[in-house]
Amino acid sequence: MEQQDKFYKGLFWGAALGAATGTIMGLLFAPYKGRETQQIISGKVKSMLDKATELYENSEHEDAYNNDAKMRSQEIIDTARDEAKKILTEANTIIRDIKGYPKTKEN
């Protein structure tokens, strides 16, 4: 039992150290500034959501997919889009707070 506890403790500390090292290395060797990286990520998220929506709406087998699975997938897409918007808004707020810019009115 004690050996198993040591294993899990070592696994935890190894994962934590690896995550910390990866984060530091990522920040040190990042090819873009924070705002540019945020814009790149948000652009990719938006394009993936748009592509998924387009594939969903332009399905060749419209009748075959007109069921609960289709409605559930649309709910997932809508939820993902809403969450992505919330994350981008929060990220913009954090960046403004860090840089000392005045807050803007949100919708």
Q: What is the pLDDT of residues 41-83, one digit of tens each?
A: 888 888 888 888 887 777 655 555 567 777 888 888 888 888 8
- Asked if 77 and 56 touch (Cβ cutoff 8 Å), the reply is yes
My answer on whether 89 and 45 are in the same domain is yes
Number of domains in the chain: 2
Residues 24 and 38 in one domain: no
Range of the domain at 5: 1-30
Beta strands in 1-107 (DSSP E): none
pTM: 0.35
Do 94 and 55 reside in the same domain of the chain? yes
Q: How far apart are CA 48 and CA 90, in angstroms?
A: 20
Are residues 20 and 53 part of one domain? no
Going by the DSSP 8-state scheme, the letter that residue 59 receives in this structure is -
